[in-house]
Amino acid sequence: MADSATDETHTTLYREAHVSYINSCNSNKEDFAYWVTEHLRISGFYWGLSALALLGRLDDTDRTSILEFAASCRTACGGYGGNRGHDAHLLYTLSAIQVYFLCEAEDRLDVDAILTWVKSLQHEDGSFSGDEWGEIDTRFSYIAISIVHLLKRPDAINLQAAVDYVGRCQNFDGGFGVNPGSESHAGQTFCCVGALAIADRLDVITDPDALGWWLCERQLPAGGLNGRPEKLPDVCYSWWVVSSLSILGRLDWISGEKLQEFILACQDSEGGIADRPGDVVDVYHTFFGIGGLSMTGYPDLVAVDPAFAMPCPLLKRIGLLTHARSDPYFKTTKQA
Protein backbone atom coordinates (compact mmCIF):
# COMPACT_ATOMS: atom_id res chain seq x y z
CA MET A 1 0.00 0.00 0.00
CA ALA A 2 1.27 3.48 -0.85
CA ASP A 3 2.50 5.48 2.12
CA SER A 4 -0.21 7.79 3.44
CA ALA A 5 0.25 11.45 2.61
CA THR A 6 1.81 13.51 5.40
CA ASP A 7 2.92 17.10 5.84
CA GLU A 8 6.34 15.98 4.68
CA THR A 9 6.98 16.82 1.04
CA HIS A 10 7.95 13.75 -0.96
CA THR A 11 11.02 14.47 -3.06
CA THR A 12 12.73 11.08 -3.44
CA LEU A 13 11.98 8.38 -5.99
CA TYR A 14 12.46 4.95 -4.40
CA ARG A 15 14.31 3.56 -7.41
CA GLU A 16 15.66 0.30 -5.99
CA ALA A 17 12.39 -0.50 -4.27
CA HIS A 18 10.52 0.02 -7.53
CA VAL A 19 12.91 -2.24 -9.44
CA SER A 20 12.42 -4.98 -6.84
CA TYR A 21 8.65 -4.53 -6.87
CA ILE A 22 8.40 -4.69 -10.66
CA ASN A 23 10.54 -7.81 -10.87
CA SER A 24 8.40 -9.49 -8.21
CA CYS A 25 5.08 -8.88 -9.98
CA ASN A 26 5.19 -12.02 -12.12
CA SER A 27 6.69 -14.32 -9.50
CA ASN A 28 4.42 -13.77 -6.50
CA LYS A 29 1.68 -16.18 -7.52
CA GLU A 30 0.21 -16.23 -4.02
CA ASP A 31 -0.73 -12.57 -4.39
CA PHE A 32 -4.37 -11.70 -5.15
CA ALA A 33 -3.29 -9.07 -7.69
CA TYR A 34 -1.50 -11.72 -9.74
CA TRP A 35 -4.72 -13.59 -10.45
CA VAL A 36 -7.10 -10.66 -10.96
CA THR A 37 -4.75 -9.33 -13.66
CA GLU A 38 -4.51 -12.65 -15.49
CA HIS A 39 -6.50 -11.31 -18.46
CA LEU A 40 -3.97 -8.52 -19.17
CA ARG A 41 -0.70 -10.25 -18.30
CA ILE A 42 1.05 -9.24 -21.56
CA SER A 43 0.24 -5.58 -20.88
CA GLY A 44 1.66 -6.03 -17.39
CA PHE A 45 4.95 -7.07 -18.97
CA TYR A 46 4.90 -3.97 -21.17
CA TRP A 47 4.26 -1.67 -18.20
CA GLY A 48 6.92 -3.35 -16.08
CA LEU A 49 9.60 -3.47 -18.79
CA SER A 50 8.92 0.14 -19.75
CA ALA A 51 9.20 1.30 -16.15
CA LEU A 52 12.50 -0.55 -15.78
CA ALA A 53 13.72 1.00 -19.03
CA LEU A 54 12.97 4.52 -17.75
CA LEU A 55 14.83 3.67 -14.55
CA GLY A 56 17.79 2.48 -16.64
CA ARG A 57 17.39 -1.08 -15.32
CA LEU A 58 15.97 -2.99 -18.26
CA ASP A 59 18.81 -5.49 -18.04
CA ASP A 60 17.46 -6.64 -14.65
CA THR A 61 14.99 -8.97 -16.35
CA ASP A 62 14.78 -12.51 -17.69
CA ARG A 63 14.11 -11.69 -21.32
CA THR A 64 14.07 -15.34 -22.39
CA SER A 65 11.10 -16.28 -20.22
CA ILE A 66 9.28 -13.04 -21.07
CA LEU A 67 9.62 -13.68 -24.80
CA GLU A 68 8.50 -17.29 -24.37
CA PHE A 69 5.36 -16.03 -22.65
CA ALA A 70 4.74 -13.39 -25.32
CA ALA A 71 5.03 -16.01 -28.05
CA SER A 72 2.51 -18.21 -26.25
CA CYS A 73 -0.08 -15.39 -26.42
CA ARG A 74 -0.10 -15.34 -30.22
CA THR A 75 -3.28 -16.58 -31.84
CA ALA A 76 -4.05 -18.15 -35.20
CA CYS A 77 -5.38 -14.86 -36.62
CA GLY A 78 -2.01 -13.16 -36.17
CA GLY A 79 -2.97 -11.03 -33.17
CA TYR A 80 -2.16 -11.59 -29.50
CA GLY A 81 -4.30 -12.22 -26.46
CA GLY A 82 -3.74 -10.90 -22.96
CA ASN A 83 -2.64 -14.35 -21.79
CA ARG A 84 -2.22 -17.88 -23.09
CA GLY A 85 -5.41 -19.20 -24.63
CA HIS A 86 -7.16 -15.82 -24.69
CA ASP A 87 -8.77 -14.24 -27.74
CA ALA A 88 -6.74 -11.79 -29.81
CA HIS A 89 -7.32 -8.09 -29.14
CA LEU A 90 -5.68 -4.95 -30.55
CA LEU A 91 -4.75 -3.75 -27.06
CA TYR A 92 -2.81 -6.88 -26.18
CA THR A 93 -1.32 -7.12 -29.65
CA LEU A 94 0.26 -3.68 -29.24
CA SER A 95 1.52 -4.68 -25.78
CA ALA A 96 3.08 -7.84 -27.21
CA ILE A 97 4.76 -5.88 -30.01
CA GLN A 98 6.11 -3.39 -27.47
CA VAL A 99 7.46 -6.24 -25.36
CA TYR A 100 9.30 -7.65 -28.37
CA PHE A 101 10.83 -4.25 -29.11
CA LEU A 102 11.81 -3.69 -25.47
CA CYS A 103 13.54 -7.09 -25.50
CA GLU A 104 15.23 -6.28 -28.84
CA ALA A 105 13.54 -9.28 -30.44
CA GLU A 106 11.24 -7.58 -32.94
CA ASP A 107 12.69 -9.74 -35.72
CA ARG A 108 10.63 -12.63 -34.29
CA LEU A 109 7.34 -10.91 -35.11
CA ASP A 110 5.25 -12.19 -38.03
CA VAL A 111 4.68 -8.71 -39.40
CA ASP A 112 2.52 -9.69 -42.37
CA ALA A 113 0.15 -11.77 -40.23
CA ILE A 114 -0.21 -9.00 -37.65
CA LEU A 115 -0.91 -6.33 -40.26
CA THR A 116 -3.41 -8.46 -42.16
CA TRP A 117 -5.37 -8.93 -38.95
CA VAL A 118 -5.15 -5.24 -37.97
CA LYS A 119 -6.40 -4.21 -41.42
CA SER A 120 -9.38 -6.57 -41.06
CA LEU A 121 -10.56 -4.59 -38.01
CA GLN A 122 -10.88 -1.24 -39.81
CA HIS A 123 -14.34 -0.02 -40.82
CA GLU A 124 -15.35 2.07 -43.83
CA ASP A 125 -15.61 5.22 -41.69
CA GLY A 126 -11.96 4.80 -40.65
CA SER A 127 -12.66 3.54 -37.11
CA PHE A 128 -11.34 0.28 -35.67
CA SER A 129 -12.85 -2.52 -33.64
CA GLY A 130 -10.68 -3.93 -30.88
CA ASP A 131 -11.44 -7.53 -31.81
CA GLU A 132 -13.82 -9.72 -33.76
CA TRP A 133 -16.71 -8.80 -31.44
CA GLY A 134 -16.90 -5.28 -32.85
CA GLU A 135 -16.50 -2.68 -30.07
CA ILE A 136 -15.37 0.65 -31.59
CA ASP A 137 -13.27 3.09 -29.57
CA THR A 138 -10.61 5.72 -30.31
CA ARG A 139 -8.26 3.64 -28.18
CA PHE A 140 -8.25 1.14 -31.01
CA SER A 141 -7.56 3.86 -33.59
CA TYR A 142 -4.49 4.87 -31.60
CA ILE A 143 -3.37 1.26 -31.24
CA ALA A 144 -3.75 0.45 -34.93
CA ILE A 145 -1.87 3.59 -35.97
CA SER A 146 0.87 2.83 -33.43
CA ILE A 147 1.24 -0.76 -34.65
CA VAL A 148 1.58 0.07 -38.33
CA HIS A 149 4.16 2.78 -37.61
CA LEU A 150 6.20 0.65 -35.20
CA LEU A 151 6.25 -2.05 -37.87
CA LYS A 152 7.01 0.65 -40.51
CA ARG A 153 4.03 -0.24 -42.66
CA PRO A 154 1.63 2.73 -42.38
CA ASP A 155 0.20 1.80 -45.77
CA ALA A 156 -1.20 -1.42 -44.29
CA ILE A 157 -4.35 0.47 -43.23
CA ASN A 158 -6.37 3.32 -44.68
CA LEU A 159 -4.44 5.92 -42.70
CA GLN A 160 -6.28 8.92 -44.11
CA ALA A 161 -9.65 7.46 -43.11
CA ALA A 162 -8.29 6.63 -39.66
CA VAL A 163 -7.04 10.19 -39.19
CA ASP A 164 -10.34 11.67 -40.39
CA TYR A 165 -12.27 9.51 -37.92
CA VAL A 166 -10.07 10.60 -35.01
CA GLY A 167 -10.59 14.24 -36.01
CA ARG A 168 -14.37 13.80 -35.86
CA CYS A 169 -14.06 12.73 -32.22
CA GLN A 170 -12.93 16.18 -31.01
CA ASN A 171 -15.51 18.10 -28.98
CA PHE A 172 -16.41 21.78 -28.59
CA ASP A 173 -14.39 21.96 -25.34
CA GLY A 174 -11.24 20.83 -27.17
CA GLY A 175 -11.06 17.31 -25.74
CA PHE A 176 -11.72 13.98 -27.47
CA GLY A 177 -14.11 11.14 -26.71
CA VAL A 178 -14.41 7.42 -27.46
CA ASN A 179 -16.32 8.18 -30.67
CA PRO A 180 -17.96 11.24 -32.30
CA GLY A 181 -20.20 13.06 -29.82
CA SER A 182 -18.93 11.24 -26.71
CA GLU A 183 -17.80 13.05 -23.56
CA SER A 184 -14.24 14.38 -23.51
CA HIS A 185 -11.88 12.28 -21.42
CA ALA A 186 -8.15 12.63 -20.84
CA GLY A 187 -7.42 9.00 -21.70
CA GLN A 188 -9.25 9.26 -25.01
CA THR A 189 -7.64 12.63 -25.64
CA PHE A 190 -4.20 11.05 -25.35
CA CYS A 191 -5.24 8.30 -27.76
CA CYS A 192 -6.39 10.83 -30.34
CA VAL A 193 -3.54 13.31 -29.92
CA GLY A 194 -1.00 10.48 -29.84
CA ALA A 195 -2.47 8.89 -32.96
CA LEU A 196 -2.38 12.18 -34.83
CA ALA A 197 1.19 12.85 -33.70
CA ILE A 198 2.37 9.41 -34.85
CA ALA A 199 0.59 9.92 -38.19
CA ASP A 200 2.18 13.40 -38.44
CA ARG A 201 -1.29 14.97 -38.68
CA LEU A 202 -1.56 17.29 -35.70
CA ASP A 203 -2.98 19.81 -38.17
CA VAL A 204 -6.30 17.97 -37.81
CA ILE A 205 -6.72 19.32 -34.25
CA THR A 206 -9.17 22.22 -34.13
CA ASP A 207 -7.90 25.00 -31.85
CA PRO A 208 -4.91 23.45 -30.04
CA ASP A 209 -5.10 26.19 -27.42
CA ALA A 210 -8.64 25.16 -26.44
CA LEU A 211 -7.42 21.57 -26.14
CA GLY A 212 -4.40 22.69 -24.10
CA TRP A 213 -6.65 24.69 -21.79
CA TRP A 214 -8.99 21.71 -21.26
CA LEU A 215 -5.97 19.55 -20.44
CA CYS A 216 -4.34 21.98 -18.02
CA GLU A 217 -7.64 22.34 -16.17
CA ARG A 218 -7.23 18.72 -15.18
CA GLN A 219 -4.62 19.70 -12.56
CA LEU A 220 -6.03 19.93 -9.03
CA PRO A 221 -4.69 21.93 -6.05
CA ALA A 222 -2.77 18.92 -4.67
CA GLY A 223 -0.84 18.73 -7.97
CA GLY A 224 -2.40 15.55 -9.36
CA LEU A 225 -4.47 15.35 -12.52
CA ASN A 226 -7.92 13.98 -13.21
CA GLY A 227 -9.45 12.58 -16.38
CA ARG A 228 -12.51 14.86 -16.57
CA PRO A 229 -14.15 17.59 -14.48
CA GLU A 230 -15.18 16.88 -10.88
CA LYS A 231 -13.14 13.67 -10.59
CA LEU A 232 -10.38 12.77 -8.14
CA PRO A 233 -6.72 12.94 -9.16
CA ASP A 234 -5.10 9.71 -10.32
CA VAL A 235 -1.45 9.02 -11.09
CA CYS A 236 -2.29 7.43 -14.45
CA TYR A 237 -3.36 10.86 -15.73
CA SER A 238 0.22 11.93 -15.15
CA TRP A 239 0.60 10.10 -18.45
CA TRP A 240 -2.64 10.75 -20.35
CA VAL A 241 -2.65 14.50 -19.70
CA VAL A 242 1.07 15.29 -19.60
CA SER A 243 1.88 13.34 -22.77
CA SER A 244 -0.84 15.22 -24.66
CA LEU A 245 0.43 18.58 -23.42
CA SER A 246 3.96 17.56 -24.32
CA ILE A 247 2.97 16.64 -27.87
CA LEU A 248 1.16 19.97 -28.19
CA GLY A 249 4.20 21.88 -26.90
CA ARG A 250 2.23 23.15 -23.89
CA LEU A 251 3.72 21.14 -21.05
CA ASP A 252 4.53 24.34 -19.17
CA TRP A 253 0.80 25.07 -18.86
CA ILE A 254 0.73 22.94 -15.70
CA SER A 255 3.00 22.84 -12.66
CA GLY A 256 5.44 20.00 -13.23
CA GLU A 257 6.83 20.48 -9.73
CA LYS A 258 3.43 20.05 -8.07
CA LEU A 259 2.69 17.00 -10.19
CA GLN A 260 5.99 15.41 -9.21
CA GLU A 261 5.16 15.93 -5.54
CA PHE A 262 1.81 14.19 -6.05
CA ILE A 263 3.34 11.22 -7.87
CA LEU A 264 6.08 10.78 -5.27
CA ALA A 265 3.47 10.93 -2.49
CA CYS A 266 1.74 7.94 -4.11
CA GLN A 267 4.81 5.70 -3.73
CA ASP A 268 5.14 2.83 -1.32
CA SER A 269 8.55 2.82 0.35
CA GLU A 270 8.63 -0.95 -0.28
CA GLY A 271 8.14 -0.37 -4.01
CA GLY A 272 5.41 0.53 -6.47
CA ILE A 273 3.19 3.54 -7.11
CA ALA A 274 -0.56 3.71 -6.47
CA ASP A 275 -3.31 5.79 -8.05
CA ARG A 276 -3.31 8.16 -5.07
CA PRO A 277 -1.69 8.35 -1.60
CA GLY A 278 -2.62 5.50 0.73
CA ASP A 279 -3.93 3.13 -1.95
CA VAL A 280 -2.55 -0.22 -3.08
CA VAL A 281 0.26 -0.07 -5.64
CA ASP A 282 0.21 -1.77 -9.03
CA VAL A 283 2.54 -2.00 -12.03
CA TYR A 284 0.19 0.06 -14.24
CA HIS A 285 0.38 3.16 -12.05
CA THR A 286 4.05 2.51 -11.38
CA PHE A 287 4.89 2.81 -15.08
CA PHE A 288 2.68 5.81 -15.76
CA GLY A 289 3.87 7.54 -12.60
CA ILE A 290 7.51 7.11 -13.60
CA GLY A 291 6.57 8.19 -17.13
CA GLY A 292 5.03 11.38 -15.75
CA LEU A 293 8.17 12.05 -13.71
CA SER A 294 10.32 11.56 -16.80
CA MET A 295 8.25 13.93 -18.91
CA THR A 296 8.38 16.63 -16.23
CA GLY A 297 12.15 16.42 -15.91
CA TYR A 298 12.72 14.41 -12.75
CA PRO A 299 16.49 13.78 -12.66
CA ASP A 300 18.24 10.67 -13.97
CA LEU A 301 15.32 9.08 -15.75
CA VAL A 302 15.48 7.97 -19.37
CA ALA A 303 13.33 10.07 -21.69
CA VAL A 304 10.02 8.60 -22.76
CA ASP A 305 8.27 9.36 -26.03
CA PRO A 306 4.89 10.97 -25.28
CA ALA A 307 3.17 9.53 -28.36
CA PHE A 308 4.48 5.95 -28.55
CA ALA A 309 4.79 5.59 -24.73
CA MET A 310 8.17 3.92 -25.22
CA PRO A 311 11.72 4.92 -24.24
CA CYS A 312 13.27 7.46 -26.63
CA PRO A 313 16.53 5.49 -27.00
CA LEU A 314 14.51 2.50 -28.24
CA LEU A 315 12.83 4.60 -30.93
CA LYS A 316 16.20 5.98 -31.92
CA ARG A 317 17.53 2.42 -32.21
CA ILE A 318 14.79 1.40 -34.63
CA GLY A 319 14.99 4.58 -36.66
CA LEU A 320 11.76 6.30 -35.62
CA LEU A 321 11.64 9.99 -34.79
CA THR A 322 10.56 10.77 -31.24
CA HIS A 323 8.01 13.33 -30.14
CA ALA A 324 10.10 14.45 -27.15
CA ARG A 325 10.66 17.93 -28.47
CA SER A 326 10.87 21.59 -27.51
CA ASP A 327 9.32 21.28 -24.05
CA PRO A 328 11.17 22.94 -21.18
CA TYR A 329 11.05 19.82 -19.01
CA PHE A 330 12.35 17.52 -21.73
CA LYS A 331 15.52 19.55 -22.09
CA THR A 332 16.66 18.33 -18.70
CA THR A 333 15.67 14.70 -19.18
CA LYS A 334 18.26 12.02 -19.88
CA GLN A 335 18.08 11.10 -23.58
CA ALA A 336 20.36 8.07 -23.85
pLDDT at 335: 44
**What is the band of 42 on the pLDDT scale with cuts at 50, 70, 90?**
very high
Average pLDDT of 304-329?
A: 83
- Report whether pLDDT(284) > 60: yes
Tens digit of pLDDT for each residue in 24-38? 987 766 665 665 677
Tens digit of pLDDT for each residue in 210-234? 999 999 999 999 999 999 999 999 9
Average pLDDT of 91-100?
A: 98
Q: What is the pTM of this model?
A: 0.93
Average pLDDT of 242-261?
A: 96
pLDDT at 324: 65
Average pLDDT of 118-143?
A: 97
**What is the band of 40 on the pLDDT scale with cuts at 50, 70, 90?**
confident
Query: How distant, in Å, are the alpha carbons of 22, 248, 281 from that of 289?
Result: 13, 20, 11
How does the average pLDDT of the chain come out, rounded? 92
pLDDT at 336: 39
- Report whether pLDDT(309) > 90: yes
Write phi, then psi, for 122 (nearest 5 degrees): -85, 140
User: Which percentage of the chain shows pLDDT scores above 70?
Assistant: 90
**What is the band of 103 on the pLDDT scale with cuts at 50, 70, 90?**
very high
Given a contact cutoff of 8 angstroms between Cβ atoms, the answer to whether 295 and 243 are in contact is: yes
pLDDT at 331: 44
Given a contact cutoff of 8 angstroms between Cβ atoms, the answer to whether 176 and 169 are in contact is: yes
The CA distance from 25 to 16, in Å, is 15
**In this predicted structure, which of 1-5, 51-55, 71-75 has the lowest mean pLDDT?**
1-5
pLDDT at 36: 62
